[in-house]
Amino acid sequence: MPFMKLIITDDYQESCRVAAEMIRDLIAEKPNAKLGLATGGTPVPIYKNLIEMNQHGEIDFSEVRTVNLDEYIGLDGSHPQSYRYFMDTNLFDHININKANTYVASGIGNAVQNAAILDAKVIENGVPDLQLLGIGNNGHIAFNEAGDHLVACSHIEHLTQSTIDANARFFESKDEVPTTAITMGMRGILSSKMPLLVATGAAKADAIRGLLTNEEITTQNPSTFLKLHSNAVVIIDRELATLVGI
């Protein structure tokens, strides 16, 4: 697979450590690095590693800037399932970052305007040096859903049933999962200097197979567009690699 760098680790814990070390090294080199950040279950241990590194004086976040991929429409940042709340509680509240330098799209107010603001934030003072990514079971990245087309700019996305079902585990019931979200578009993701996708678990096998085992790009698996990037990195564990057949 030309261009894309694949790292296969012993296990998910190691994947998360390796990802955190890449972020640590980037910030050491560029103290005011701009990070594109992701939510979902996958990055949580990455953030735990970053918190520990910060507490041990291995990373200084004081000049770091961040922009997040997406936010549910209808959830205020104080809602426990909002992505702003997720970022605060899983990372920002525990590190020496200036929260004024962090951006998560607003889920309330005018969604079209909020999406436009997100697009502006992606390029404000330079594009992200690194864009952390998880992957949905259907290959979605951020909330760019699998379907017959993708959208370049940040936009409002109607979530697929597969995504609603997968994310229901974070809510009291499936009915509470918002059905729409604001997401960074494919251009924003691909404009980062280094997209860094981390995946684990059997549910991701089909999507990762599509990403790693052929040269096809398809809107039915949005992650495959990372094949167009000259500096993308994918980290998976041995268990997932075996399931994928690599």
Residues annotated catalytic, as ranges: 70, 138, 140, 145
Q: In terms of CB distance, is 64 or 189 closer to ligand GLP?
A: 189
Mapped onto helix, strand or coil, the DSSP state of residue 215 is coil
Q: Is residue 15 a contact residue for ligand GLP (CB under 6 A)?
A: no
Judged by CB under 6 A, the residue of 36, 45, 128, 136 near ligand GLP is: 136
DSSP string spanning 17-53? HHHHHHHHHHHHH-TT-EEEE--SSTTHHHHHHHHHH
In degrees to the nearest 10, what's the CA dihedral of 29, 35, 38, 39?
90
Judged by CB under 6 A, the residue of 16, 35, 51, 135 near ligand GLP is: 135
Min separation Cβ 32 and ligand GLP, Å: 25
Min separation Cβ 166 and ligand GLP, Å: 7
Min separation Cβ 70 and ligand GLP, Å: 5
Within 143-172, the residues that bind ligand GLP by CB under 6 A are 143, 163, 167
Neighbours of 18 (CB within 10 A): 17
Q: In terms of CB distance, is 41 or 109 closer to ligand GLP?
A: 41
Q: In terms of CB distance, is 39 or 82 closer to ligand GLP?
A: 39
Q: Do 60 and 96 touch, CB atoms closer than 8 A? A: yes
At 148, give phi and psi (nearest 5°): -85, -5
Q: In terms of CB distance, is 61 or 143 closer to ligand GLP?
A: 143
Q: Which two tokens stand for residue 71?
A: 């936010």
How many whole angstroms separate alpha carbon 38 and alpha carbon 121?
15
Binding part of the chain for ligand GLP, among 27-35, 60-68, 132-140, 228-236 by CB under 6 A, reads: 132-140
Q: Is residue 142 a contact residue for ligand GLP (CB under 6 A)?
A: yes
Q: Is residue 177 a contact residue for ligand GLP (CB under 6 A)?
A: no
Within 39-98, the residues that bind ligand GLP by CB under 6 A are 39-42, 69-70
Strand ranges, E, within the chain: 5-9, 34-37, 65-68, 70-72, 102-103, 130-133, 155-158, 180-183, 195-199, 233-237
Binding part of the chain for ligand GLP, among 35-43, 86-94, 214-222, 233-241 by CB under 6 A, reads: 35-43
Please name every residue paired with 72 in a beta bridge, in sequence order, or none if there are none. 181
Min separation Cβ 83 and ligand GLP, Å: 8
In degrees to the nearest 10, what's the CA dihedral of 93, 43, 18, 135?
-150
Between strands 130-133 and 155-158, the pairing is: unpaired
| Residues forming the site for ligand GLP (CB under 6 A) | 38-42, 69-70, 134-136, 142-143, 163, 167
